[in-house]
Each structure stands twice: as structure tokens, then as C-alpha cells.
Amino acid sequence: MATVMARKIDWENQIGRRLKLRDLYVFFTVVQRGSMAKAATHLGVSQPAVSEVIGDLEHALGVRLLDRSAHGVEPTVYGRALLTRSRAAFDELKQGIKDIEFLADPTAGELRIGCVESIASAILPPVIERFSQQYPRIVLHVTDAVTTATLDLPELRERTLDFVLARIVGSLARDDHDLNVEILFNDYLVLVAGKRTRWANRARIDLAELVNEPWVLTPANSWGDRLITDAFRARGLPLPKPSLMTFSVHLRTNLLTTGPFITALPSSVVRVHADRFALKVLPIDLPVRPWPVGIVTLKNRHLSPVAQLFIDHLRACATAMPVELQRPA
């Protein structure tokens, strides 16, 4: 089979003088919307105008960027390459505008943070309180980052988030892909019940006594589920049967306040919410497994000054934590 040789693209004559940022934006919009017609509606132009822009891009580059079908369009391998690199270029331009805005007024700006609920409910509040007192005109957007147990962080990779606060487990901890991971501190799981339960005043509890209690556990194969499973199996005990399975910290803490349930929570969550929700850490030693909390950013992406400011506040908060939750050396 003959080898197909891609022709060399003359940047100066074919691209540098002809390619416009508007053309790339139209291309992004077509990919995002999945069709020329939907992109045209979103952009407020005619469909032929959009088709002309895409056609000119393909002609200039000498490759097909989109596969057309009756169901819409999909980027080709060439289109995906252009999309990835151009997204980074647009992001750098946007970050440059943010830098200029910050230099003009260092007390204002916006920041977009991805964060799992257990961190948002325990670690972020004091940081945000202090940060907002110093910079009341900076607007923070915090969204739920659900899948931090893996490398599946699409919003971070698509640069719609500045950084993600995550509990670092599995492959995310290796820091060997396109992500940087900075560990802030090590958290730990503890067993917790409400202060009104019969377990609250016990000085000693054997794990075997809890097998048949009503448990609230996190879904199967999560960090908490694996730790509880290992603890019971190490003792040769049957696994507890959960009454409820959920990641929701809010739901678990509320159930413990008034009900007979037992659950496992990060130590940082209990430290913040113990008094408010009448929680009691049970005197049971689980296997000691640090659960690092860290900042995840994209490699080779320059963070805005506002992001750097907030990260500095996070580091200061981690340093001031109690001895059981210390920032790693």
C-alpha cells in the first residue's frame, strides 16, 4: 500500500496571513454544536457563511477537518488536533486579558474552581471567608468535580476551570500525565455516629459489634468503601449491609444527627461539622491510609494572578491545620 505523504504547510503564506481568530471560533462552535445549522443559529449568521468559513479553513490547511453526515458533523483526526492546540491558544489569550484586567485592578476578577463536596463542605469555607474579606470584588465560581478518583477531569482539560481541588487516589496521584498535582495535606477516614446514639459514650468499641448496625456507605469501589471492606475482612468479619449508599456529605451528616446510622467520613469534615451536627468519632482504629487532598492543574498552563492568590490562601490554610492534618513536607 502506498504511503500518503502530507504536504508541507507554508505558515507565512497559507496560514499566518489568512487565518483569523474568528475562523477558529466558528470551527469551535461547529464542533460544540454538532452541526453547521446549529452553529449558525448560535452565532447569529447564515449557514452558508459558516460553511464558507469551514471550507476556507480546510482549503488553507489542505486537510478535511470535519466529517459530514445526515446526523451532523464530527471532527476528523486533523480537526481534533486543531481543536486541541487552538483551545490552548485561545485560553492563553484569555488568560492574557485576565492578567491585564488584574494589573489594572488587582482587587477584582473571577475564578472557577472544581471541587468535590467533601472538600467544599469542610475545607473551602474558611478559605473563602478570609479570601472574600481581603478581595470582596473577586467572584468565585465553585462547581462539583465528581470524578476525581480518575484522570477524567474534562472541564479542567477543556480549560473551563482554573484548577480542581481533589482527593488524590489511584492514577491521579502519579502526576505523570498532562496534570500537575500539589498535595496540600493528608486526610484520614474515621468512623462516625451521632452523639445521641448508644455508641457515643462508649470508651471502647469492637468492630464486630457494628456488623449488624445500619450503615451509610459510599458507593462500591470508592475509597471509603474499600477501606471499610478491608477493615472488616482483616478481622474475618462479614461485611456490613448498608441502609444507604451515597457520596453526599450533607445527607450523611444529617442522617447521623437524628438517626442510629454509622458512616465513615474524612477527618477534616468531622473537625468542621462535629458540633453543628452532633457527631462523634468512634474509638475504632481503621487501617492507616493517608488520603491526600491536593490542587490539580493543567501542565504548561499559566494560572491567572487571581488563581495564584487563592492557591496561596489554600496553602496557608493547610499549614495552619491541626497536627493530624498536616501539609506534607
Q: What is the DSSP letter of 327?
A: P
Strand pairing class (163-167; 108-115)? parallel
CATH number of the domain at 29, please. Answer: 1.10.10.10
In a domain, 137, yes or no: yes
Q: How high is the pLDDT of residue 251? A: 92
**Which amino acid makes up residue 241?**
K
Residues 28 and 40 in one domain: yes
Q: How far is CA 150 from the centre of its chain?
A: 10
Instruction: Calculate the alpha carbon distances from 47 to 37, 40, 42, 203 in Å.
Output: 5, 5, 11, 73
Same-domain pairing of 220 and 82: no
Same-domain check for residues 136 and 269: no
Same domain assignment for residues 80 and 227:
no
196 and 221, same domain (yes or no)? yes
Q: Are strands 291-298 and 179-187 parallel, antiparallel or unpaired?
A: antiparallel
198 in a structural domain:
yes
Element housing 67 (H / E): strand 66-69
Considering the domain boundaries, does residue 116 fall inside one?
A: yes
pLDDT for the residue 193: 94
CA-based nearest residue to 192, from 90, 136, 268? 268
226 and 211 part of one domain: yes
Residue 213's domain comprises 189-281
User: Total structural domains in the chain?
Assistant: 3
* 239 in the same domain as 210: yes
For 257, phi then psi, to 5°, come to -60, -40
Are 310 and 183 within one domain? Answer: yes
The answer to whether residue 272 is domain-embedded is yes
How is residue 280 written as a grid cell?
Answer: 462523634
Q: What is the DSSP string of 11-24?
A: IIIIIITT--HHHH
Cα–Cα distance for residue pair 137/111, rounded to 1 Å: 11
Per the domain annotation, does 96 fall within a domain? no
Say yes or no: 116 and 230 in one domain. Answer: no
Residue 174 has a pLDDT of: 54
pLDDT on residue 142:
94
In a domain, 257, yes or no: yes
Whether 182 and 302 map to the same domain: the answer is yes
Quote the pLDDT of residue 99: 79
Res 14: pLDDT:
54
Q: Assess whether 216 and 276 both reside in one domain.
A: yes
Task: Please choose, from the candidates 252, 259, 260, the residue with its C-alpha nearest in 3D space to the C-alpha of residue 219.
Answer: 252
CATH number at residue 110: 3.40.190.10
Per-block mean pLDDT, blocks of 10 residues, the chain (329 long)? 46 60 86 90 90 86 87 89 82 80 78 90 90 92 68 79 86 64 91 92 91 92 88 93 92 91 92 89 85 89 88 89 51
